[in-house]
Amino acid sequence: MVPHSTNLSSSTVPDTEPNLYVLYGTETGNSKKLASDASAAADRAGLHARVLGLDQLQAQELTKVRHAILVVSTTGEGEMPYNAVDFWDALGADDFPRIEQLRYGMLALGESVYDHFCAAGIALDERLAKLGATRLVDRVDCDYDFETHAATWLDEAIGVFAESIQADGSAGSEAVSVSSSHEGGRPRHTAHIAAKRVLTRGKTEREVVHYTIALDTPGADAAPFDWQPGDSLNLFYGNDPALAHDILNRLRLRADDVPHGTDKSLGELLTGHLELRALSRELVQEAAAQDVGDELQHMLAQSTPEVFEAWRESHDLLQVLIEHPEIRFDAERLVSLLRPLQPRAYSIASSPLRDPASIDLSARTVRYRHGLRTYHGVVSGGLSQRASAGDPIEVQHLATPSFRLPDDPATDIVMVGAGVGVAPFRAFLQHRAARGDRGRSWLLHGIRNPSEDELYADEFAAWRHDGLLFSYDVCASRVLDGRRYVQHRMAERGRELFGYLDEGAVLYVCGDARRMAKDVRCALRAIATDVLGSAARGESFVEGLQAGRRYRQDVY
């Protein structure tokens, strides 16, 4: 293998046309960041790389590309990320031309807590191979700890690509047309906060807040986008200015400095544009190099990815600077090491049939103590602390076709949600009430304690009373008479639940992906095993529900 520092002679590198395309499909920015890392590594290796979002390149243009690295994440239930949808649709055409000149490598991003691990990257990889393209390096499917695996893969891949491009000699890629010099991305819309009220009682660290977001509409009764119950809304909200100020003070940097290569002051960048919570591994590595106690070095060297991820979960930038006051970054380095600030998603908790221009959300406020400090979640904490009714806010619509109500209004549904996972079910029920759906609806909601964190209980009780809800089970986990989770109630009513599903009901699960969603699936398998008499039949029943799209999840 050619080491990635290989420099190609200038004759093999045309001045203008790139000899390597780095294409990314992303939903939340990780793939884009890796694509830019890949491009930087390629440039260091003497290649001429160009980074493009998959929405910037017509799929047909692939016929002109000779070398490409693709970095593609998966979203929804095994779906293409937003900026790759059109590209994927075009690539799937029966008459799509052969692309035998293309040599490529696929880095797939995903998380194994999801059922369809890296499904989008896998599907694209297989489709490219089917169209005659050659895999120059094997695909790697990266989990939540993608940074280490991705860096190793990219390091190797760039070497292999450098060798192939060199062997190609003067045969560079033809000029490709780029749809737009700026990637389109998911459209942003202006809105304002129309209402804000706390739904929970008691402990503030368990607060859930109900927000009504009024969309700025192009005209009366017209929403700027079509949305459905089951969809989510991305909210953009800046970092706490006091947090940005504290960080700059600790780094001895001035808020009004404009770092080289940017047109904004450090203060503006840290409050409105850069992520101070989820740190890049690169930043942690640079911090570790300056850490006098070697604690960070030790953690990076010794740790498994799980240990690193657990450390990262509990450390934002300020926490690192509090624990390691000797660490310094200059303005330019700080800006280059921080990730772009991302919006956060919230399940829509209302129906467009109530009002297409107004959207309800319920957000659990992330707020916890760490030593002497109280951490406030960027968006949920920022909104809870600083936002008031009337404030403007930018939003994006996240359509979730895999989590919609059944088309047939007579279909029965079972909705299982823990905590704020109940939010989309309020939207479902509003919608069913407005449409007069005849299908039966059964809701199981997991909470800690009815005196603290019941959400929308009055509305659900009213729907139960009216008959829209045929059953409403609240499962409380922190009450004196025992710890009950949603799956315990499912097990208690196992035969009834089985019968319901066996007759065609659709099951919806929303909330925590890491524990609740897995346990619910186990419970369902156990119920089916019990009724059907064997584990194999139980598993095949659950698989049948999934294959028939009657087991739908929106978990995070």
Ligand X SMILES: Cc1cc2nc3c(=O)[nH]c(=O)nc-3n(C[C@H](O)[C@H](O)[C@H](O)COP(=O)(O)O)c2cc1C
Ligand Y SMILES: NC(=O)c1ccc[n+]([C@@H]2O[C@H](COP(=O)([O-])OP(=O)(O)OC[C@H]3O[C@@H](n4cnc5c(N)ncnc54)[C@H](OP(=O)(O)O)[C@@H]3O)[C@@H](O)[C@H]2O)c1
Binding site for ligand Y (CB under 6 A): 364, 418-421, 446-448, 477-478, 485-487, 511-512, 515-516, 519, 556
- Name the token pair of 306: 């799980």
| CA dihedral sign of residues 520, 526, 528, 531 | negative
Quick one: which of 96, 144, 236, 556 contacts ligand FAD (CB under 6 A)? 556
Using the minimum distance from each CB to ligand Y, give the nearer residue, 13 or 510: 510
Residues 423-462 that bind ligand FAD (CB under 6 A): 423
For strand 344-347 and strand 373-376, is the pairing parallel, antiparallel, or unpaired? unpaired
In order, the DSSP letters of 471-526 are: EEEEEESSBTTB---HHHHHHHTHHHHHHHHHTTPEEEEEE-TTTHHHHHHHHHHH
Using the minimum distance from each CB to ligand X, give the nearer residue, 150 or 433: 150
200 binds ligand FAD (CB under 6 A): no
**Min separation Cβ 449 and ligand FAD, Å:** 18
Number of chain positions touching ligand FAD (CB under 6 A): 22
128 binds ligand X (CB under 6 A): no
Amino acid letter, 524: L
**Min separation Cβ 149 and ligand Y, Å:** 21
Let me know if 45 is exposed, middle or buried by CB neighbors in 10 A (0-12, 13-18, 19+): buried
For strand 189-198 and strand 134-135, is the pairing parallel, antiparallel, or unpaired? unpaired
Q: Which stretch binds ligand X (CB under 6 A): 1-9, 68-76, 123-131, 256-264?
A: 68-76
| φ, ψ at 512 (rounded to 5°) | -60, 125
**Min separation Cβ 235 and ligand Y, Å:** 13
**Min separation Cβ 363 and ligand X, Å:** 15
Show the DSSP H helices in 133-208 as ranges: 146-168
378 binds, among ligand FAD, ligand Y, ligand X, none (CB under 5 to 8 A by kind): ligand FAD
- Gap between the Cα atoms of 382 and 262, Å rounded: 26
Using the minimum distance from each CB to ligand Y, give the nearer residue, 212 or 487: 487
| φ, ψ at 536 (rounded to 5°) | -65, -40
Using the minimum distance from each CB to ligand X, give the nearer residue, 37 or 77: 77
Q: Which stretch binds ligand X (CB under 6 A): 110-118, 329-337, 483-491, 503-511?
A: 110-118
**Min separation Cβ 113 and ligand X, Å:** 8
311 binds ligand FAD (CB under 6 A): no
For strand 392-398 and strand 232-236, is the pairing parallel, antiparallel, or unpaired? antiparallel
3-state class (DSSP) for residue 218: coil
313 binds, among ligand X, ligand FAD, ligand Y, none (CB under 5 to 8 A by kind): ligand FAD
Torsion on CA atoms 13, 16, 17, 23, rounded to nearest 10: 110
Beginning with the edge strand found earlier in the chain, give each strand of the sheet holding 551-555 in spatial order: 469-476, 441-447, 413-418, 506-511, 551-555
Residues 4-43 that bind ligand X (CB under 6 A): 26-31
**Min separation Cβ 236 and ligand FAD, Å:** 11
Using the minimum distance from each CB to ligand X, give the nearer residue, 146 or 425: 146
- Gap between the Cα atoms of 535 and 516, Å rounded: 21
- Gap between the Cα atoms of 97 and 31, Å rounded: 27
81 binds ligand X (CB under 6 A): yes
363 binds ligand FAD (CB under 6 A): yes
Helices and strands, counts by H and E, the chain: 18, 19
Using the minimum distance from each CB to ligand Y, give the nearer residue, 118 or 520: 520
Binding-site string for ligand FAD from residue 365 to residue 394, where x marks contact by CB under 6 A and - marks none: -x-x--------xxxxx-------------
Number of chain positions touching ligand X (CB under 6 A): 23
Interface residue list for ligand X (CB under 6 A):
26-31, 73-78, 81, 109-111, 114, 116-119, 146, 556
